[in-house]
Structure 1
Amino acid sequence: MGIVSQTLRFAVLALCLRIALTQRLPPNGCGNIFQYRRQGDHWIGHVTPPQDGLKSVSWTLRFVSHGVNRPGKISSMAPYPNRKTALQNMHDGGRAECFVRFTDFDDELPKIVRIELNGQVLCTASEYEGSSTTSTRELNMAVSSTTTYKMYESPPLPTRTIPLFDSIDPESFYNQLVTYASVPAPTTAKQTPRPTTTVTRPVAASPGTSWVSNDNPFLKPLTSIKPIVTVDTRHEPVEYECGVEGLVGLQIGGETLPRGRFPWLAALYHDINVDPNKIELSYKCVTTLISARTVITAAHCIYGMTPAQLRVYVGRHDISMHPEKDATLMAVQSVHTHPDFVGNLVPDLDVGLLVFTERVQYSTYVRPICMWTSKTALGIDDSEQTAVAGWGIDANFKPTRFPSTVNVRKVSQEQCLREMVTAKDFLTPRTFCAGNSQGHGPCLGDSGGGLMVLRNNRWFVRGIVSLAQRSGNGCDLSRYVIYCDVARHLGWIERNIVR
């Protein structure tokens, strides 16, 4: 009896193995990314990113199978060949591979019909006609690294008087409506050799001036000392809650923000030094952190710029300090502006995204705001607080050192047009107006900032600061400000955001 039982078990095992090895493979239109492979007595689906160097990946795979309630199971996605190896490979600049395992399918394996990586669709295929079953599998992987570099102290920066708005032609339509252009950067800058002394404190500079560093932290150090790099392979990225603000100042009226109240507030800089071994940064616009690797801003702040020309300071508060404690200067991997935005200032297309080369480290001063979603009600109730914040010029047309915030109220387009006729050519279904009865609001230097809505004790980004009425060297804030409506661009944002 024992011999018969053992023989039967071998026969069943052989049959299962034969079935596994003779299963039909479905059409695969994603062969450059996805491969069906045999692994022992099972089939797996092996996925490889199309590019090297990704420090964070978020995969979504969708499969379809013939019929319903049929046998067969698709496992959860997992790093390939194992978690530790995959994460170390990511850190070393390789590709973050992963896989799924197929078990108990009688004849044909499930067909891959959609692959998304970091919110971008890489591949699609037609689904089956008639009854079918779809299955979706997701996986998030990331590595965090800490690099120690030698830092040097800069010589004192000279005090410079920088003209405001010299790029604005007073004869153009900007006499009516202007962008929130930032303080222009100087066209030339001489570099002073650095003494090789160790930095012991942040270097202060006058607000609004650019700052110069001969040490580019985004390149390998030009010394023989290797940076110390650590890789966290023990857990997934830290869980966080979006839209949770920090401490608030107890004062009435327009207020200077205490540090960390809006931890998603970040400053955009242009690097105006063409030497790749040096950086010279000039403050330009406001950005808003919407994920660990993405900020949202106005398209006109980043249009025509390359990633190497842009830097984002997350956790930023005092823009006169370089570096600033607990703030991080992030390198940009990719620049995205709405495809219909071609440089002409049209507010309904004035939206852009910057994707970092690495994930930010969440902290008291660095956390994302919540994104508006298709399920979020479009209307903003009068009882809901709405606000904007940034480092724009003050009432005396001077650059500010610390960010300020002000409450504003969204109004109907009819009301906006009644009180601001010059807005008629700029209002569309993808824009809205908001203002403040006291004449407070964003001005030059606040461009790209988010209009924030407090809903259910969380802040959501709803608009992007785009245009305002011009008045002399500043803005007429007794009139309304025109915002690009984020809620009208959710599809484009979801296709380009990297989490």
Structure 2
Amino acid sequence: MLPAILGCVLLLATRTVAQQVPPVACPQYFEYLSFNQQFVGRITMHHDPRYEDNVLRVEFSQRGRLGSNYIGSLSLWDDEETVKFNLRNGRPILYRVDFPTPGVLPKLTQIVINDAVVCQASPYPPSSVTLSLSHSLRSTSVPLFSLQPQLPQQFPRPQRPIWQTEVRQPQTPVPAPVPPPQRPTPGTTPAPAPRPVQTQAPAPQPRQQAGAVPQSLGQLDGICGRERAVTTPLIFHGVQVARGQLPWMVALFERRETGVNFFCGGTLVSASTVLTAAHCFRMSGREISANQAAVSLGRNTLDLVSAGELRQVSTLVIHDEYTIDNFTDADIALLRMSTPVSFSDFIKPICLWNENYRLQLPSGYVSYVAGWGADEVGNVNTRIAKMTNTDILTETECIRGLKSRDGVMKVTERTICASNKQGAGPCYGDSGGGLMLQENDVWLLRGVVSAGQQLANRCDLSQPVIYTDVARHINWVRQHLWF
């Protein structure tokens, strides 16, 4: 899936959806917007120049009960430079509200800016829930002129949010995540196979100084594959990935004159290296070069305005045994970022397979896959990353589960197959993402999302998904790794 930031006007909710739109007590500050039947809220708010910290709090009332702990989000609408410009010039700041339940618009009941109530309305009667959201914006800029008492009649048209982008689907079935997954919890994964006994204890690694970049795989051992202590509750039975979980997940964007387009996932394996699928860059009728690519890190969302980092790509190395005709056998590419990243709670590499782990995985062994791809309700991509568990299949089970000869031909000695009985797994847009194992609380990269099957132009997750086995190519990966 290839989101494209092309100029597009967000439409005000029209009469066709008017029955879904609650009354708005303060239309001068808040409006509902729709695009392709996706709904968001937009808040337009002036900030008092006397405040360095501007705290916006909003509340909504929604009928019924939520199906999860997710209550929505409040974020800046424009990019950082636009926000700074508007603050300096006394222009209003635009905020975006994402709602927790698709197709259900909660009613705005309160807007508070810096403890001053600017809008208020009565909530729905029981049974209903209150959604409380907040955002803090710090500014040391002084407006060039004093604020006007009334809002201007027109505002600059905002850029189209990244999550509302169009998607190019690859010509060959290429997977991306479809929930209803489950976040790994203690006890859900079968006990890992015993590791070979080491005859000699590994030498302790010197402690890395703050900001130091590991220069070898050995120096990554104490860093890789470890999540921070994440307290954000997962929603919808663990479908969404909270920021700080799976901090090695990256999103790949194609750089164009009109903006950037999300096209594949990837996995951080060192301070300078991202591992992804070769077919993301070279497939029949399509080729993307290193200087056209950008890497988004430290985000669980496709919104580049959110906290995180963006890196250009200086070098692209595609596996020398990769072929377009039988791409799954060696569907691996390595990207070298223009500058190394510093590791943190939100940016950290995953561990690579090594000889201490079993090479042959048994049937039913639990693995995990995550990404921003198409979902089960028809969205071409998900704004927030999702993950699911998926069970390893033997080669015989995989071939038996595939319905087409072409699918069977994509299974080789250097691929892994996996599936989920609930029909959850990768779909369009998840290509290049990692097939992950959790071994003794350490995350390990085992495969890369390569190919899936189609049915009526949709992902057919009743059939196995095929991953290139990174462990079978580990020597090639190690030889081409940058630190």
Aligning the two structures, in what range does the TM-score lie when normalised by the shorter sequence? 0.5 to 0.7
**Could you give the per-residue CA deviations for residues 219-271 of structure 1, whole angstroms, max 9, x where no partner exists?**
xxxxxxxxxxxxxx997437751111242745674511111110000100011
Question: How many correspondences in the alignment?
Answer: 286
Cα distance in 2, alignment partners of residues 371 and 236 from structure 1: 20
**C-alpha deviations, 1:46-73, integer Å up to 9, x for none?**
xxxxxxxxxxxxxxxxxxxxxxxxxxxx
Equivalent in the alignment of 2:271: 292
Alpha-carbon distance change, 391 to 299 in structure 1, aligned in 2, over 3 angstroms: same
User: Secondary structure at 1:424's aligned position in 2?
Assistant: helix
**Residue in 2 that maps onto 1:272:** 256
The 5 Å alignment of 1:93-492 reads 151-152=81-82, 156-158=158-160, 164-165=167-168, 168=171, 174=172, 178-180=173-175, 236-237=212-213, 241-246=223-228, 247=230, 249=233, 253=237, 255-273=239-257, 280-303=259-282, 304-319=287-302, 321-325=303-307, 327-380=308-361, 385-398=366-379, 399-422=381-404, 423-492=407-476
TM-score by length of 2: 0.55
Partners of 1:234 and 1:427 lie apart in 2 by 44
Distance 1:358 1:324, change over 3 A: same
Any residues of structure 2 matched to 1:82-97 within 5 Å, and which?
Answer: none
Q: 1:380 to 1:445 in 2, by over 3 A?
A: same
Going from structure 1 to structure 2, the CA distance change for 1:151 and 1:345 (only over 3 Å counts) comes to: farther
- Residue aligned with 1:322, SS: coil
Name the SS of the counterpart of 1:179 in structure 2.
Answer: coil
Is the contact between residue 374 and residue 490 of structure 1 (CA under 8 Å) also seen in structure 2? no
Return the offset for 1:382. 6.7
Greater alpha carbon shift after TM alignment, 378-387 vs 402-411: 378-387
From the superposition, tell whether residues 342 and 424 of structure 1 become closer, same or farther in structure 2 (CA, over 3 Å). closer
Query: What's the CA shift string for 1:349-381, capped at 9, x where partnerless?
Result: 111110112110111110010001244321335
Letter in 1 for 2:280: C
Superposed CA deviations along residues 63-101 of structure 1, whole A, max 9, x for unmatched, are: xxxxxxxxxxxxxxxxxxxxxxxxxxxxxxxxxxxxxxx
The answer to which structure, 1 or 2, has the higher relative contact order (CA under 8 A, 6+ apart) is 2
Pick the structure with greater CA Rg. Answer: 1
Shift of 1:420: 1.0
Q: Is the 8 A contact 2:364 2:392 kept in 1?
A: no
SS at match of 1:241: coil
Supply the distance in 2 between the matched residues of 1:291 and 1:235 (Cα, whole angstroms): 14
Contact map agreement 1:430 1:484 (CA 8 A) in 2 = yes
User: Per the alignment, do residues 419 and 313 of structure 1 end up closer, same or farther by CA in structure 2, a change over 3 Å counting?
Assistant: same
Q: Is the 8 A contact 1:164 1:473 kept in 2?
A: no
Provide the TM-score with structure 1 as the length reference: 0.53
Alignment partners' CA distance in 2, 1:426 and 1:234: 45
Show the counterpart of 1:107. none
Given that 2:213 and 2:271 are in contact with CA atoms closer than 8 Å, whether structure 1 keeps it comes out as no
Gaps of 5+ in 1: 1-149, 169-173, 183-232, 274-278
TM-fit CA distance, 1:435: 0.5
The gaps in structure 2 that reach 5 residues or longer are: 1-79, 84-155, 178-208
1:483 CA drift (Å): 0.4
Give the CA deviation at 1:159: 7.8
- Deviation of 1:472 after TM superposition, in Å, equals 2.2
1:395 positional shift: 0.9
Q: Deviations over 1:296-339 (max 9, x none)?
A: 010011234322100000112221x33221x1001111001111
Contact residue 176 and residue 372 of structure 2 kept, 8 A = no
Residues 463 and 181 (structure 1), Cα distance of their counterparts in 2 relative to 1, 3 Å cut: closer
What is the rounded CA distance, in whole Å, between the counterparts of 1:265 and 1:256 in structure 2? 13
SS at match of 2:280: helix
Matches of 1:351 and 1:373 in 2, distance apart? Answer: 17
SS in 2 for 1:493: helix
> What is the distance in 2 between the residues matched to 1:426 and 1:287?
21
RMSD across aligned C-alpha pairs, in angstroms?
2.8
**1:155, distance to aligned residue in structure 2 (A):** 5.1
CA pair 263-418 structure 1, distance change in 2 beyond 3 A: same
Q: Render the CA deviation track for 1:460-487: whole Å, top value 9, x for unaligned.
A: 0001101111022320111110000001
| Cα separation, 1, equivalents of 2:447 and 2:348 | 19
Deviates more, 1:468-477 or 1:381-390: 381-390
Residues 367 and 478 from structure 1, CA distance in 2 versus in 1: closer, same or farther, beyond 3 angstroms? same
**Contact preservation (8 Å) 2:351, 2:445:** yes
Distance in 2 separating the partners of 1:164 and 1:476 = 18
Match of 1:479, SS state, is coil
1:165–1:473 CA contact under 8 A, matched in 2: no
Tell me the distance in 2 between the aligned counterparts of 1:265 and 1:165.
21
Contact 1:374 1:487 in 2 (8 A): no
Distance (Å, rounded) in 2 between the aligned partners of 1:367 and 1:343: 31
Report if the CA contact (8 A) 1:384-1:455 is conserved: no
Cα deviation per residue 1:373-431 (whole Å; 9 max; x = unaligned)?
Answer: 24432133578641000001111221211000000011111011112142221111001
Q: In 2, Cα distance between the equivalents of 1:371 and 1:428? A: 21
2 CA distance for matches of 1:264 and 1:167?
24
Distance 1:440 1:167 in 2: 20
Q: What is the percentage of aligned positions where both structures have the same residue?
A: 33
C-alpha distance in 1 between matches for 2:288 and 2:342: 25
Mark the CA change 1:312 to 1:418 in structure 2 (over 3 Å): closer, same or farther. Answer: same
Asked if the contact 2:322–2:329 (Cα under 8 Å) also holds between the matched residues in 1, the reply is no
* Residue in 2 that maps onto 1:496: 480
Distance 1:158 1:314 in 2: 21
